[in-house]
Chain A
């Protein structure tokens, strides 16, 4: 008799749903996965509403409201293993950038002082109270496996699901986005940083060598480098590499600063200054996590407030 099939629940908290679409983007390979697992609860595909017991719980999205918190707890109770699936679940994700603002500020911009909204009350009946800020999943429940990415590339999703279905751990390689980028990292004579919209980028040379702030070298590769390969600097959407996370004194801006300093004639301090001045753009995806918050980035709210002043 063959072993019983692995059962899966999925849940979607505060996020965009893109990680669930990411599973659809396994395309033909989705059928191989479906052939080896049983999906119990999946809010976008089946009508099952409860949280029945399952071997694996895949959770997309961060904790933004009381509803999210309770749903996460229910998933933890029902599932043997929880995967924080996608950058929102792992680090808070893009909407973690609201860390810089209070709940009232957010409600103000959406309801009270919005250009096309007639001034009226802020919703308070029937709706869940918002948490103070966006909270990564593992600050609320214990997480067994982390798969960041916005969304993770199908290759990583496939490896994760098929490995778990067959009772082994996913490969989850620990390389930066540079590992998948074909651009040539060369020494250059560039003396000043460029804004993303400045000039036309060379097609072959490393973006850092050209003076553009690309986060590829400090970002975990869960994407296979679609951005730098197509002329767009990496914005760090899969979150930081292990090196950044585990070494207390290393941070995105100091690490990029050092690398740019070695590759070009630009001073590392100029990079640090530029990234602080645009902290909301460069730290957007991971600023809600304590792993970044505990670093010498504790002034992040001030940097953001300075820009907006």
Chain B
């Protein structure tokens, strides 16, 4: 047996790595994503003033702070029995939409876009957003512009882009001026137009890539799917949790408050990230959340251009679609949806109404649930009569995708480990993970980056280690 070590992995190589266990014949037995950071928010939040939770839990993740802030505030409003005014709900939906635009645009064009454009085997020194900007300057400019417009909605209504400050129990902490709202509304048409233009570009690239790499159209994870729905439509702010089977049929629909009876976290001895199972009728299933899951669970998006995009997607890949690579198309549909939703809410006269009602603190227990860009996000708090947090529990999107991510990794590795070069293995593995846009800082309430090292093991012994060299 020959042991190949491409480059000794020092322990500093990244927060996450991939372990591939192979049989004696060289076939891949299993693949594992090891997540290597832990911050301990569940412990840290206990003893803090509960009304600070939106501000504090935003710090779980700098990529999706809005989602954490809204999940936290909904849990508090539930336990204090407060109904925020309609204007505040519209404003929060705009914040969530602006946030989704920033997150999806960033992923599609800056993180995954280079994969789509240059292909899996592209030159790694060029395969990044700077390389993409060199060859497609106009497109890169438009993509960054769209992200900026989304993030400016968060800045306008949230007080700032990263870690917005205005989401408070009882509503929104300030009254935006008519001029401020008019300025945001003025950019809405441009946003929708940009999203539609970029959607066509992204869709085209995706189909070209699928032609170039036909294996991608064989890589599917036939999983259950879960998301928040309201009137059969995707709902990012509220609704019920619906679980659909791999055939697309509804298996369960539960109120968010009942999550703990159905969702169970497990522990892998080899990772700080906890996988999640859904318990239903005596059995346990792993499931997927996020853009593709949402499109599989919901009947429609509820806005005209996004529904047209969805129809085109379903025409090409009928519902339910389990192809890992199609997370990208799902993100494209959602990007258009978010722009249309923001535009519709900004035009609402109700948005000009009062933004806040007073809150009376009491002891209680509350659960808040939203659809974050990467999937279902749940916050749960127990608060005492003085308004101090006594227990905090957080269930994050990427955790719920853990089983599917490992399965996709296994598929990617299987088709590349035997007989192909190291770079091909690394490219395929990283591409598979990127489809999920995993946010490891959320998932471990710690931080993460793309896996940097792939270790191939036989009988527990490392036979080959692959890292990307500059």
Of the residues B34, B52, B124, B159, contact of A281 by C-beta under 8 Å: B52
B219 to chain A, nearest CB (A): 21
Q: Is A167 an interface residue (CB 8 A)?
A: no
Report, as a range, how many residues of chain B touch the other chain: 35 or more
Q: Is B89 an interface residue (CB 8 A)?
A: no
Q: Is B199 an interface residue (CB 8 A)?
A: no
Name 6 extra pairs, CB < 8 A, besides A47-B128, A197-B51, A231-B168.
Answer: A13-B447, A49-B452, A111-B274, A123-B272, A230-B166, A278-B49
Q: A232-B165, A235-B55 are in contact. Are A118 and B65 (CB under 8 A)?
A: no
B118-130 vs A, Cβ < 8 Å mask (1 yes, 0 no): 0000001101111
- Nearest residue (CB) in B for A124 is B269
Q: A14-B39, A47-B124, A95-B44 are in contact. Are A71 and B163 (CB under 8 A)?
A: no
Among A125-133, A171-179, A249-257, the one that faces the other chain is A125-133
B254-281 vs A, Cβ < 8 Å mask (1 yes, 0 no): 0000011001111111111010000000
Q: Is A181 an interface residue (CB 8 A)?
A: no
Q: Is B56 an interface residue (CB 8 A)?
A: yes
Q: Is B415 an interface residue (CB 8 A)?
A: no
A38-68 vs B, Cβ < 8 Å mask (1 yes, 0 no): 0111011111111010000000010011111
Q: Is A186 an interface residue (CB 8 A)?
A: no
Taken together as a complex, chains A and B put the C-alpha atoms of A189 and B135 apart, in Å, by 65
Task: Say whether A18 contacts B447, CB under 8 Å.
Answer: no
A127-167 vs B, Cβ < 8 Å mask (1 yes, 0 no): 11010000000000000000000110100000000000000
- Nearest residue (CB) in B for A73 is B12
B-contacting residues, A72-109, CB 8 Å? 74, 93-95, 97-98, 100-101, 105-106, 108-109
Task: Say whether B62 contacts A151, CB under 8 Å.
Answer: yes
- Nearest residue (CB) in B for A153 is B160
List residues of chain A with CB under 8 Å of any chain B CB.
Answer: 12-22, 24-25, 27-28, 30, 34, 39-41, 43-50, 52, 61, 64-68, 70-71, 74, 93-95, 97-98, 100-101, 105-106, 108-111, 114-118, 120-128, 130, 150-151, 153, 195-197, 199-200, 203, 223, 226-227, 229-232, 235, 237, 278, 280-281, 284, 304, 307-308
Task: Say whether B271 contacts A16, CB under 8 Å.
Answer: no
Q: Which residues of B contact A308 (CB under 8 A)?
A: 46-47
Q: Which residues of A contact B467 (CB under 8 A)?
A: 49
- Nearest residue (CB) in A for B52 is A281
Taken together as a complex, chains A and B put the C-alpha atoms of A195 and B129 apart, in Å, by 46
Q: Is B314 an interface residue (CB 8 A)?
A: no
Q: Is B38 an interface residue (CB 8 A)?
A: yes
Q: Is B303 an interface residue (CB 8 A)?
A: no
Task: Say whether B269 contacts A123, CB under 8 Å.
Answer: yes
**23 pairs, CB–CB < 8 Å, chain A vs chain B:** A17-B447, A18-B63, A21-B62, A25-B161, A25-B162, A27-B152, A28-B148, A47-B128, A48-B468, A61-B447, A66-B11, A70-B11, A94-B56, A95-B59, A116-B263, A116-B393, A118-B264, A118-B267, A123-B268, A150-B163, A151-B162, A197-B359, A229-B174
A48 to chain B, nearest CB (A): 5
Q: A61-B447, A196-B51 are in contact. Are A109 and B40 (CB under 8 A)?
A: yes
Taken together as a complex, chains A and B put the C-alpha atoms of A307 and B51 apart, in Å, by 16
Task: Say whether A115 contacts B380, CB under 8 Å.
Answer: yes
- Nearest residue (CB) in B for A199 is B358
Q: Is B111 an interface residue (CB 8 A)?
A: yes
Q: A14-B446, A127-B34 are in contact. Are A223 and B130 (CB under 8 A)?
A: no
Q: Which residues of A contact B205 (CB under 8 A)?
A: none
Q: Which residues of A contact B151 (CB under 8 A)?
A: 24-25, 27
Of the residues A13, A47, A122, contact of B127 by C-beta under 8 Å: A47
Q: A14-B447, A308-B46 are in contact. Are A226 and B40 (CB under 8 A)?
A: no
Task: Say whether B159 contacts A227, CB under 8 Å.
Answer: yes
A139 to chain B, nearest CB (A): 18
Q: Which residues of A contact B12 (CB under 8 A)?
A: 67, 70-71, 74
Q: Which residues of B contact A15 (CB under 8 A)?
A: 62, 441, 447
B12 to chain A, nearest CB (A): 4
A187 to chain B, nearest CB (A): 25
A-contacting residues, B208-234, CB 8 Å? none
B201 to chain A, nearest CB (A): 20
B27-58 vs A, Cβ < 8 Å mask (1 yes, 0 no): 00000001111111111101111011001100
Taken together as a complex, chains A and B put the C-alpha atoms of A130 and B44 apart, in Å, by 15
Q: Which residues of A contact B10 (CB under 8 A)?
A: 70
Task: Say whether B36 contacts A195, CB under 8 Å.
Answer: no
Task: Say whether B159 contacts A229, CB under 8 Å.
Answer: yes
Q: Is B184 an interface residue (CB 8 A)?
A: no
Of the residues B15, B44, B469, contact of A50 by C-beta under 8 Å: B469
Q: Which residues of A contact B144 (CB under 8 A)?
A: 27, 30
Q: Which residues of B contact A21 (CB under 8 A)?
A: 62-63, 161-162
Q: Is B321 an interface residue (CB 8 A)?
A: no
Taken together as a complex, chains A and B put the C-alpha atoms of A280 and B47 apart, in Å, by 7
Of the residues B39, B127, B148, contact of A27 by C-beta under 8 Å: B148
Taken together as a complex, chains A and B put the C-alpha atoms of A101 and B45 apart, in Å, by 11
Task: Say whether A49 contacts B468, CB under 8 Å.
Answer: yes
Of the residues A16, A48, A100, A223, contact of B62 by C-beta under 8 Å: A16
B31 to chain A, nearest CB (A): 13
Task: Say whether A123 contacts B48, CB under 8 Å.
Answer: no
Of the residues B15, B129, B270, contact of A126 by C-beta under 8 Å: B270
Task: Say whether B359 contacts A232, CB under 8 Å.
Answer: no
Q: A17-B61, A116-B263 are in contact. Are A24 and B48 (CB under 8 A)?
A: no
Task: Say whether A111 contacts B267, CB under 8 Å.
Answer: yes
Task: Say whether B128 contacts A46, CB under 8 Å.
Answer: yes
Task: Say whether B39 contacts A98, CB under 8 Å.
Answer: yes
- Nearest residue (CB) in A for B55 is A235
Q: Which residues of A contact B253 (CB under 8 A)?
A: none
Task: Say whether B62 contacts A17, CB under 8 Å.
Answer: yes
A-B interface, 3 closest residue pairs, ranked by CB to CB distance from nearest: A18-B62, A106-B40, A226-B159
Q: Is B370 an interface residue (CB 8 A)?
A: no
Of the residues B11, B40, B395, contact of A101 by C-beta under 8 Å: B40
Q: Which residues of A contact B62 (CB under 8 A)?
A: 15-22, 151
- Nearest residue (CB) in A for B49 is A281
Q: Which residues of A contact B189 (CB under 8 A)?
A: none
A85 to chain B, nearest CB (A): 12
Q: Which of B35, B39, B469 counts the most A-chain CB atoms under 10 A from its CB?
A: B39
Taken together as a complex, chains A and B put the C-alpha atoms of A28 and B149 apart, in Å, by 11
Taken together as a complex, chains A and B put the C-alpha atoms of A110 and B267 apart, in Å, by 10
Q: Is B195 an interface residue (CB 8 A)?
A: no
- Nearest residue (CB) in A for B110 is A45
Taken together as a complex, chains A and B put the C-alpha atoms of A28 and B148 apart, in Å, by 8
Task: Say whether B38 contacts A64, CB under 8 Å.
Answer: yes
Of the residues A115, A150, A281, contact of B260 by C-beta under 8 Å: A115
Q: Which residues of B contact A46 (CB under 8 A)?
A: 128, 130
Taken together as a complex, chains A and B put the C-alpha atoms of A280 and B50 apart, in Å, by 12
Q: Which residues of B contact A281 (CB under 8 A)?
A: 48-49, 52
Q: Which of B43, B124, B450 counts the most A-chain CB atoms under 10 A from its CB?
A: B43
Q: Is B248 an interface residue (CB 8 A)?
A: no
Taken together as a complex, chains A and B put the C-alpha atoms of A25 and B98 apart, in Å, by 13
